[in-house]
Structure 1
Amino acid sequence: MTPPPSGRGPRPAGLTKPAAPDKPSPPAKPAGLLQLGSLQRRLLLAALAFVTLALVVAGLAIGVILHRFVRAQLDSRLDSQLVAIAASLERGPGEHLRLDRTLDGPPFDRPRSGWYWQVRQGRTTLRADSLEGRDLPVPDRPAHDPDPDRAQPGDAAGPWGDALILRTRVLPAEAGRPPVILVASAPAQALNGPLREAGRALAAILGILGLCLVAGTVAQVRLGLRPLERLRRDIAEVRAGRRPRIPGQQPAEIRPLVTEVNALLDQNAANLERARTHVANLAHGLKTPLATLTLALSDRTRDPDGGLAALVAAMDRQVRHHLRRARTAALGGATRARTDLAGPLSDLRTTFGRLYAEKTLVIDLDLPEGLAAACDPQDIDEMLGNLIDNACQWSRGWVRIAGRPAEAGVTLTVEDDGPGLDAAAAARAIRPGGRLDESVPGHGFGLSITTELAELYGGGLQLGRSDLGGLSARLQLPA
């Protein structure tokens, strides 16, 4: 325990303003899907792009295959009609062509249906009844077809302007007669209609498939990134002091990173232990010579005016101050220690209640269960001991200690009903060696050391006016 700090001197209670809090930093933007550089965002966008591309390519390919299939079925039907017509042709009176049977079966029997057939040889023309006496446009074709058994495809407008799909076959000329041109047609709707229906069904199926793939990708990405979230929680556990190292049971891709982090933790722990050992050795090496000098200078014959004793006392204060600062700096800021505050505060209340038993102090302790700070236990004792000692020293009979969880950590408040301090005196009290009353025992380093320790942990100390009438010391520490 440090010498009782003398952060204040007796003075009339007056208006006291608490130290101005630091300007709050802007809140960090939450990580999420739209955050730039997010692994989840990258993976999901890449998967969405590939799924979309794959579905578009698959849709186009299936569409082309369906078109070819339906067109082949339609051409096969028209070719069958041409074969039936060719087989039914015969010479009638006057050597004119005629059919030995009717070929106007469904669907070629419906007028203006687009299902037509026509036979032409010179000026002789045979037609389906569905043409109602009109002619089909006959595509240009050479008189001598190298493959008369093969029908040729074509497209044309029908007699009533409707779009038709044609199949044309030319029978070679015989005995000086012109070639016979056979034409069969089907409406373009016979091709486009089934394709539209199949396209709608295909689009629905591909859409459902795409949604399933996207949902599967989201699940896969979240499942794949879950070890990273578990690693983050493990590191938070280490930082909070609830475990010394990160568990080694990790996926193969993360295991090297965990090994390196654990090695860094071990190295930092070793460096901290060495630093504390050096500080302890230095403290031991300087404490004995200073004690010897103090004892020697207590003889007034050696130091009549007390000047040397004052210098030795100043040296002792400086050594104590810098040793504490070196020890806390060795922690590198917030440590991985986790200290439950209930135990230390109860012990400190008991200790100072006995030290100041003659004042019959009432020391109230209001602390929620489980409140903890991410600080070394020795530093907790040092900081709270300085504050409680200061409050007990100047209190008229009532000291109140309270702790509450805060947004950025833990806030501990030590209040008393003493004379209190104004803003200027509070600023002087937290400076190293700042003593407001030289008649009170102490060295003036208690509040300054408490402030430095708190700042090394990322917290701070603020002095203000308590509603009890005295001083209110607010200590902020990381949770």
Structure 2
Amino acid sequence: MPGPFHLGSLQRRLLLAALVAITVALVVAGVAIGLVLHRFVRGQLDSRLDSQLVALAAGLERGPGNRLRLTRSLDGPPFDRDRAGWYWQVRQGDAVLRSGALEGRDLDPGERARDGRRPGHPHPADGTGPWGESLILRVLTLPPEAGVAPAVLVASAPADALRGPLREAGGALALILGILGLSLMAGTLAQVRLGLRPLERLRRDLAAVRAGHRARVPGQQPAEIRPLVAEVNALLDQNAANLERARTHVANLAHGLKTPLATLSLALSDRAHDPDGTLGGLVGAMDGQVRHHLRRARAAALGGATRERTALAEPVADLRATFARLYAEKGLVIDVTLPAGAAVACDGQDLDEMLGNLIDNACQWCRGYVRIGAASTEAGLAITVEDDGPGLVPEAAAEAVRRGRRLDESVPGNGFGLSITQELAELYGGGLHLGRSGLGGLRAGLTLPV
């Protein structure tokens, strides 16, 4: 099966879609929260500077010559630190009052910050300090009095007073959003796995049907896949009906052909009708051909018969007892070693046919010992039938599975046993291989699906 992140995987598609959606949502949330934090920190900073401007405006008074002066010192923290960016300044005409941190230098808010503003309302501005530092400014223009130039009050803070808290908050925000994103992806993964679990259960149910453990897919399924299960069960029912009809037709054909052939064989058993036995041989060959093609048609009608499950132990035991009686004069020893619970996915009658041909062949040619075993392989279940007879050379082994080919005419048979076994095995997706046995004779390996 493809893995969960295979290109065509539903789980991959759902997880990728969730990843994109979560990423977009987290990016939008991060930007929005960042803007809110920026506005909040800037608001706090502006409030601090506005408080300084209000204190400056409240501390101003007119002195000699109608010039402004401060009634008290306003160089309290943080405006008492030299060159830290926390400055204040009052300018009226050519007269200037400034904080000690400016060291006698001017703080210029720029013409753009002074123009177009309503007097009495602080407004923001950005500028550069006397030593080239970036500053955040708040400017307050007092309403002019008769004959007196308006007073412009400026308070500043370093740009780092805004960027520093934002960097700290941004780092914490990124960490929180990252943890949130991982939590959401973990929850999405669990949700996707839970949501797709019925499909995995459906796959196992179909595999059980294919292996022959059950005839239909259980109808107790989630509502979304219940129609699919109903269609699959309808298809299985239709295939079963078609299979039954095919079996009936094959049985009818077998009955229609075998009865005349049996009649001919009985008639030709009289030497008066067949002095040299030629016609009897032809009738026997016809009977073998009919049996061969009927078995092949029946196996093809099963569509590979992957829905039938047949245990191996019982038919092997029956065949062992049967052939032990048939070849009792040999004093046969038929040794059977099968793994517990061994079973194949094929029709029971076809399994009897294949095993019967192989065991019969081994009993005919053995000296007195036949060994039957089985082992699981990647291709299925490998059933071996070995004997201690003369065996076959590789060239003769290939010739032995040809239809109607008999390597020894002195032994009874029609030459169809091995060919029928091979073709039936291939129709089930397996195969037949003939080779040399460790016992000295023939080793027939029959592979069938499990």
Query: Is TM > 0.5 for Structure 1 vs Structure 2?
Result: yes
Structure 2 residue aligned with 1:24? none
The answer as to 2:339 corresponding to 1:340 is no
Instruction: Please identify which structure carries the higher helix content.
Output: 2
Q: Secondary structure at the match of 1:392?
A: helix
Percent identity between the aligned chains? 74
One-letter amino acid of the structure 2 residue matched with residue 159 of structure 1? P
> Which residue does 1:172 correspond to in 2?
143
Q: Say whether residues 1:242 and 2:213 are aligned partners.
A: yes
Q: Does the CA-based 8 Å contact 1:143-1:172 persist in structure 2?
A: no
Secondary structure at 2:111's aligned position in 1?
Answer: coil
Instruction: Name the SS of the counterpart of 1:181 in structure 2.
Output: strand
Within the alignment, does 1:401 sit opposite 2:359 as a pair? no
Q: Contact 1:387 / 1:447 at 8 angstroms: preserved in 2?
A: yes
State the shift of 1:48 in Å.
1.1
Deviation at 1:169, TM superposition (A): 1.3
**Closer/same/farther in 2, CA of residues 179 and 314 from structure 1, 3 Å limit:** same
> 1:32 & 1:137 partners in 2: Cα distance?
67
TM-score by length of 1: 0.91
Match of 1:440 in 2: 411
Match of 2:352 among 374, 377, 381: 381
Alignment CA distance shift 1:332-1:144 (3 Å): closer
Task: Select the residue among 48, 51, 66 that pairs with 1:80.
Answer: 51
Which one of 212, 220, 245 corresponds to residue 191 of structure 2? 220
Q: In structure 1, how many angstroms separate the alpha carbons of the residues matched to 2:48 and 2:114? A: 25
Shift in alpha-carbon separation, 1:146–1:291, aligned structure 2, 3 A: closer
Query: 1:264 is aligned with what amino acid?
Result: L
Whole-angstrom CA distance in 2 between matches of 1:143 and 1:165: 15
Give the drift of 1:303. Answer: 3.3
Distance between the aligned counterparts of 1:478 and 1:170, measured in 2?
Answer: 95
- Partner residue of 1:210? 181
Q: CA deviation at 1:112?
A: 1.7
1:128 deviates by: 1.3
Moved more, 297-306 or 47-56: 297-306
Shift of 1:143: 7.5
Paired residues of 2:432 and 2:445 also in contact (CA < 8 A): yes
Aligned 8 A contact 1:145 1:170 in 2: no
- The alignment's TM-score, normalised by the length of structure 2, stands at 0.97
Instruction: Note if contact 2:113-2:125 (Cα within 8 Å) is conserved in structure 1.
Output: no
- Gap change, CA 1:191 and 1:438, over 3 Å in 2: same
Alpha-carbon shift at residue 90 of structure 1 (Å): 1.1
CA distance in 1, matches of 2:339, 2:117: 101
Q: Which residue of 2 aligns with 1:478?
A: 449
Cα distance in 2 for partners of 1:146, 1:321 equals 107
Partner of 2:271: 300
Instruction: Please give the root-mean-square deviation of Cα atoms over the aligned residues, in Å.
Output: 1.5
What is the SS of the residue equivalent to 1:271?
helix
Shift in alpha-carbon separation, 1:143–1:115, aligned structure 2, 3 A = closer
CA distance 1:133–1:153, shift in 2 (3 Å):
same
Which one of the candidate residues 124, 134, 137 is aligned to 1:153? Answer: 124
- Structure 1 position 349 matched with structure 2 position 359: no
Instruction: Report Cα offsets for 1:181-230 as digits up to 9, x if no partner.
Output: 11010111111111011001101100100110111111111111111111
Distance 1:112 1:184 in 2: 14
In structure 2, what is the equivalent of residue 191 of structure 1?
162
Number of residue pairs the alignment of both structures matches: 450
Q: 1:134 deviation in Å? A: 1.5
- Structure 1 residue identity aligned to 2:349: Q
Q: Is the contact made by 1:334 and 1:458 (CA closer than 8 Å) also made in structure 2?
A: no
What pairs up with 1:321-332 in 2 under 5 angstroms? 321-332=292-303
Residue of structure 2 aligned with 1:425, choices 396, 400, 403: 396
Q: d(CA) in 1 for partners of 2:92 and 2:218?
A: 92
Q: Paired residue for 2:85?
A: 114
Contact 2:113-2:124 at 8 Å conserved across structures: no
Which stretch of structure 1 is more off in the superposition, 148-157 or 394-403?
148-157
Indicate conservation of the 8 Å contact 1:451/1:460, yes or no: yes
2:113–2:139 contact (8 Å) kept in structure 1: no
Name structure 1 gaps, 5 residues minimum: 1-29
C-alpha distance in 2, partners of 1:206/1:150? 39
Q: Quick check: 1:145–1:172 contact (8 Å CA) kept in 2?
A: no
Highest relative contact order (Cα 8 Å, sep 6+), 1 or 2?
Answer: 1
Alignment of 1:11-22 (within 5 A): none
Give the drift of 1:85: 1.2
